Structure 1
Amino acid sequence: MALSASPLSAESYPDVVSTSNYVAVRDGTRLAMSVYRPAVSGQAVNKPLPVIFVFTPYRGRFKGPDGKINETALGDNLGLRSLLRAGYVVAVADVRGKGASFGHRRGFQDRTEALDGRDLVEWLAEQPFSDGSVGMVGCSYLGGSAFQVATTAPPSLKAAFIGASDLDKYAFVRNGGITAQFNTRPDEEPEVDLATVPMDEDSDGSMLKAAVAEHASNTPMGPLWYGMPYRDSSSTLTGTKFWEEVGPYNYLDTVKRAGIATYFWGNWRDEPTSQIILSAANLSSRLLAGPGGHCQPPQGFDLPGEIVHFFDHYLKGEDPEYDKLPRATYWVEGLNGTGGYVTSAELPGVRSRPLPWFLSRGGFGWQTAGAAGVSTFTVDYDLPPAEYFAFWPQPMVDHGLGFTSAPLQSDIEFVGYPVAQLTVSSDNPKADVFVYLDRVKTDGTSEVISFGRLKLSHHKLSLAPYETLGLPWHSGFAKDVDAPAPGADVSLSIAMTPVSLVVPAGDSLRFVVAGADPRQRNLADIKLNPAPRITVRWGGRDGSRVDLPLSN
């Protein structure tokens, strides 16, 4: 039976009717809005209902290559179809500069877009089909949209269910000072937006064509991120310190004062989950961490039911006992031999204790550091191409240094963030360091279970402006960048992606250090020539280790 906090709302509406139209926001830009209303026998319910709003760059309605029309609101990956059945109006709008909306994007999830969302929330609250209460739901960009709109505190926004998004965009997109896979893909051709289904008022499609023509002025996403090496860099494309503009952590007090309820969701095999847990920590929110990858509905869990239950409480005032439910639900891979969900009053890893595992000449293990020594490698830029959307890395042991443990004598459960504490040097202070924690199975196959990255020049630790659960934080401010001298030892503290698994007896753990990752889309442009040589110090007083989060 699928795990679920609650059955669906007692109301049940089998049908849906939809309309679409343009809505002008504060500067007159017309944004494409599609509204879906619960219906019975083809007739929309004739009473005001709460509204769930989705704000997307991926087109709320579009025609696929097979000619089939795809509609975001009619799918259930985000519980939208279930919400319609449970008596909610669902509204989906294309962001400025995408889909059928007019205007152009100044920047990825910028304040212009956030304020657009605020305007649309208030427009929805004022419509005859609305009871005045609005919630938002989304995952990935759509989750970020919900978070960004919440930071503007629309009076009618009561709750947001946010998946796979970030708290600190610099620490996410340019983690450790290094821009990797996320948000750097090429921008889409106009034909993509031209496949959007026109609004009802656009009978001949001329308005869609006019809107898409305006998209030609969109700020390109990849160059935007690549052009700002430091947290306080000013973008030549936006004229602002854009990382700070789009960092939700700067607006946490606004969300708190507004009383907007938040629920954060991520999956363990998805890089944004690092940020999702920190978001939940900073907003005292509920958390769901499931198995699987990017925005995949968690296996064995009734995600639509969880979403409906959340909004039933905060938008309909149902289930007064809701706030007494456990705060966190998370999957532990390998629990009881297979895997299972755990519920807790605390976020995963909060009670875990760091278990030091040391790098050594003989490998990797919890024994004392042993005799001192070093291992050196030359950065390998000749890497196999990653998948286009490689949200999770493949083992890198053939492209760097590997330190492997002996087979485990008993099962070990890890929940939380591994932290790599390394002493390294390089003949090139511009070198990057990538680290990976692998599980090596008894049959010899392996998989990455955690990873992280840091530029040597970003090694300095700083005090974070938000709760980090004790993890090391690197500011990325230009003043804190300190390139070491060639050959000089430097200490690196690297927070790796969180884990939640039981490693069974017989398996081994492997720690890998590399200097490049195939998920860097611009690898050909940033490779150093000659390739840097990186030395890792192990053993003795200054040797390297990894603090693994041992679950109590």
Structure 2
Amino acid sequence: MPLSALAQQADPLVARQSIYLPMRDGTRLAVNIYRPAAGGKPVATKAPVVFAFTPYRARYYDKGKLVELVDSPQFGLRDLVHSGYVVATADIRGKGASFGARRGFLDQTEAKDGAEIVAWLAAQPYASGDVGLIGCSYLGGTAMLVAGARPPAVKAVFSAATDWDKYDFVRRGGITGQFNTRPEDPITPDLDSVPVDADTGGVLLKQAVAQHAGNTPMAPLWYGIPYRDSVSPLTGTRFWEEVGPYTHKAAMTAPGVAWYLWGNWNDEPTEQVIRSAANLPAKLIVGPGSHCDVPKQFDINAIQKRFFDRYLKGIRNGIDTEPKYSWWREDGAGGALIRSDRLPGVGIKRTPLFLGMASRRVDGTLGSRVPAPGTFDYRIDYDIPTEGYFPFWPASPDGHAATFTTAPLARSATIEGFTIVSVRAAANGPAANIFAYLEDVAPDGKAVVLAQGRLAGSHRTLAKAPYANLDLPYRSGLKRDDTPLIPGRPTTLTFELSPRSYVVQPHHRLRVALAGADPRQRNLAAIRGGLAQRWTFYGGAGGSRIDIPFTTPVQFETTPQ
């Protein structure tokens, strides 16, 4: 939690200043600099800089209490200052105390702004010339994009809970159905930002916030570019390619930049974080929990400090010789720390489980043997409540989906990596969406979503990925590959579910849930009229299946418990 305003002001080991820094077009961005100090006065020693770039206000008042990004528990930035680093935070243009209007979301305008701030910081007399970037969620995205702009001073990047391929993230499977489509934030909270030091009366702050009225609204931006090659009417560019960041891979993998990535299993961006690790010379940690939650199983702040110590201060602390990847394998009651030089699931052969159709009830079977041929008609439930402001992870769709359940497990089974689902289905219209969930169902019936994915039927055509995609199916998202369904004609829909490292306990069941709508679709009311009303699922040889990366053979009980 943030320190009190009095404690922050009285910290004798930190000297803070805030300024407006003009960008190439004259737009002034609010930048805060925290320098190591003795008795409240900055020390003269040159130090490396760690920079965080935020849309969420770097310094602001919350009901009279001062809140500063430097005290965020995810980053340990104040401790870095205490350890001899200069820390800088800044508001992106169009947010917080900065001037200007936001053109897009993690766009090249922000990338260039961040690169200019980095260059300025590296040239200051108190700086050693080496800069690290840090952030989680949007801030993780700014770290990626600024690194992609390749400012020479950047030597280390610690990025968490952000994406590698923004089209595949925001419009995964061709469907907008996650937290980036949330309602636009009003600009009035920006007036609670702390004015920069020279703006004693807050006049400049008011002028800056007035310009925020020109910000590009985020949800209309995403909804307005349905294909990877769509040109946004709001930016005039093929915006998905602009924001990459995979399109800037050459710059991001240039020699001299070290990477560390972090994600958590119950967080949709984690599948993107692992893709990033497959494409960057990066170390990786994955913990339990939700979006940017600091897992108790890892000392995130200590890891960040060791990383920057090695690559910004040159301290040979061994972090570069440790296994590249670490993750927490959950087992329901606790878990275990796994360290490896292979990403989760890489090299593990997937085990097929086949969906058996039940003609007169929703719940079908899921098992190791190919079932008899069969079909099930599932009427899509569009009358589902939408989830809250930030639905980072879905709840069980039980009651709104067709479900297929295994017998109880005879012994524990470990899942490691990405699951792939292939649904053989026909819709009664040319457009239909499919959502799939893999669940752990306890003996008492409580269901936990382990993995989830989605695919628009018209986006089913597979293609070659433009980056290392592990062994996962890839859809181009190009307009030319949009192929409407032929009503009543079965087709196979193949897509990956989010990754997991998880031990399913004995006597638990695995369940696959298939739905045609999801509570995270905020535009569901607007689009449902153009979507099919029914899926027909097919089982048997060549029918629906799910391929799960079990580390050992899975065994099911043959008699009820």
TM-score norm. by structure 2 comes to 0.94
DSSP-derived class of the 1:505 partner: coil
For residue 55 of structure 2, the aligned residue among 54, 57, 80 is 57
Q: How does 1:266-345 map to 2 (within 5 A)?
A: 266-319=263-316, 321-334=318-331, 338-345=334-341
1:153 touches 1:258 (CA, 8 Å); kept in 2? no
CA distance in 2, matches of 1:325, 1:158: 19
Partner Cα distance (1:397, 1:216) in 2: 42
CA deviation after TM superposition for structure 1 residue 231, in Å? 0.4
Secondary structure of the 1:527 match is: helix
Shift in Å, 1:439:
0.6
CA distance in 1, matches of 2:337, 2:470: 22
Distance apart, 1:437 and its partner CA? 0.6
State the match for 2:5 in structure 1.
Answer: none
Change in CA separation of 1:293 and 1:107 when aligned onto 2, cut-off 3 Å: same
The reply to whether residue 84 of structure 1 matches residue 84 of structure 2 is no
Q: Is the 8 A contact 1:457 1:482 kept in 2?
A: yes
Q: Tell me, in whole angstroms, the C-alpha distance in 1 between the residues paired with 2:43 and 2:266.
A: 41
* Displacement of 1:531: 5.2
Gap runs ≥5 in structure 2: 1-10, 359-363, 553-561
SS of 1:288's equivalent in the other structure is strand
Separation of aligned partners in 2, 1:452 and 1:419? 9
SS in 1 for 2:254: helix
Residue 184 (structure 1) shift: 1.2
Letter paired with 1:360:
G
2:159 corresponds to which of 153, 158, 162? 162
Are 1:195 and 2:196 an aligned pair?
A: no
Matched residue, 2:174:
177
**2:17 aligned residue:** 19
Alignment-derived partner of residue 516 in structure 1 = 517
Amino acid at match of 1:56: T
C-alpha distance in structure 1 between counterparts of 2:469 and 2:279, whole Å: 8
Q: 1:344 to 1:14 in 2, by over 3 A?
A: farther
Q: Which residue of 1 aligns with 2:488?
A: 487
Equivalence for 2:146? 149
What is the deviation of 1:322? Answer: 2.8
Structure 1 segment 326-475 matched on structure 2, within 5 A: 326-334=323-331, 338-361=334-357, 363-475=364-476
Query: Deviation of residue 530 (structure 1)?
Result: 7.4
Asked whether the equivalents of residues 297 and 328 of structure 2 are also in contact (C-alpha less than 8 Å), the reply is no
Partners of 1:79 and 1:551 in 2: CA distance: 36
**Are the structure 2 counterparts of residues 433 and 85 from structure 1 closer, same or farther at C-alpha, using a change threshold of 3 Å?**
same
Q: Distance in 2 between matches of 1:396 and 1:173?
A: 21
User: How many pairs align?
Assistant: 537
Within 2, Cα distance between the matches of 1:199 and 1:323? 39
Amino acid at match of 2:14: V
Question: Cα deviation per residue 1:300-348 (whole Å; 9 max; x = unaligned)?
Answer: 211100000000000000116332111011000018x621211111111
Q: Report the residue type matching 2:551 in the other structure.
A: S
**Residues 48-96 of structure 1: per-residue CA shift (max 9 Å, x gap):** 10000000000100111x2101000123321212212221111000001
Partner deviation per Cα, 1:260-289 (whole Å, 9 max, x = no partner): 111110000000000000101101310000
In the alignment, which residue of structure 2 is the partner of 1:263? 260
Identity among equivalent pairs (%): 49
Q: How far does residue 440 in structure 1 lie from its aligned partner after superposition?
A: 0.3
* Equivalent-residue separation in structure 1 for 2:185 and 2:324 (angstroms): 39
Structure 2 partner of 1:549? 549
Given that residues 379 and 533 in structure 1 are in contact (C-alpha distance below 8 angstroms), is that contact kept between their aligned partners in structure 2?
yes
Cα distance in structure 2, aligned partners of 1:216 and 1:529: 33
Aligned 8 A contact 1:14 1:85 in 2: no
Query: Which 4+ stretches in 1 moved above 4 angstroms?
Result: none
**Offset, 1:509:** 0.5
Specify the SS of the correspondent of 1:257: coil
Shift of 1:379: 1.1
Conservation of the 8 A alpha-carbon contact between 1:168 and 1:249? yes
Once the two structures are overlaid, the 10-residue window that deviates more, 257-266 or 364-373, is 364-373
Is residue 244 of structure 1 aligned with residue 245 of structure 2?
Answer: no
Q: Is the 8 A contact 1:56 1:93 kept in 2?
A: yes
Q: Which moved more, 1:352-361 or 1:51-60?
A: 352-361
Are the equivalent residues in 2 in contact too, given 1:419–1:494 (CA < 8 A)? yes
Q: Which amino acid aligns with 1:281?
A: A
Which residue type is aligned with residue 551 of structure 1?
T
Aligned to 2:26: 28
Opposite residue 375 of structure 2, the aligned amino acid is: V
1:117 has 2:108 as partner = no
Other-structure match for 1:504:
505
**8 Å Cα contact 1:155-1:258 kept in structure 2:** no
Shift of 1:255: 1.4
Return closer, same or farther for 1:439/1:170 CA change in 2, 3 Å cut-off.
Answer: same
The CA deviation at 1:418 is 0.5
How many Å apart are 1:428 and its aligned residue? Answer: 1.1
Task: Give CA-to-partner distance per residue, 1:162-213, whole Å, 9 cap, x none.
Answer: 0000000000000000001221122222211111000001111110111111
The partner residue of 2:131 within 134, 140, 143 is 134
Note if contact 2:162-2:272 (Cα within 8 Å) is conserved in structure 1.
yes
Counterpart for residue 37 of structure 1: 35
SS at match of 1:311: helix
2:558 paired residue number: none
Q: Distance in 2 between matches of 1:234 and 1:294?
A: 30
Alpha-carbon distance, 1:14 to partner: 6.8
Q: Secondary structure at the match of 2:129?
A: strand
Distance 1:63 1:397, change over 3 A: same
Distance in 2 separating the partners of 1:213 and 1:284: 42
In 2, are the aligned partners of 1:364 and 1:509 still within 8 Å (CA)? Answer: no
Q: Aligned-residue CA RMSD in angstroms? A: 1.4
Q: Residues 549, 69 of structure 1: CA spacing in aligned structure 2 closer, same or farther, 3 A cutoff?
A: same
* 8 Å contact kept, 2:421–2:546: yes
Q: Summarize deviations over 1:336-365 as a string: whole Å, max 9, x none.
A: x62121111111111321010110137444
**What is the SS of the residue equivalent to 1:269?**
coil
1:357 counterpart letter in structure 2: L
TM-score (norm 1): 0.95
Residue 45 of structure 1, CA deviation: 2.0
5+ residue gaps, structure 1, are: 1-12
2:538 maps to 1:537: yes
Q: What is the rounded CA distance, in whole Å, between the counterparts of 1:315 and 1:438 in structure 2?
A: 43
Equivalent residue number for residue 6 of structure 1 = none
Distance 2:436 2:265 in 1: 17
Structure 1 window deviating more from structure 2 (22-31 vs 308-317): it is 22-31
The question of whether the paired residues in 2 share the 8 Å contact of 1:16 and 1:84 is answered with: yes
The answer as to whether partners of 1:118 and 1:152 remain within 8 angstroms in 2 is yes
Q: Is the 8 A contact 1:21 1:200 kept in 2?
A: yes
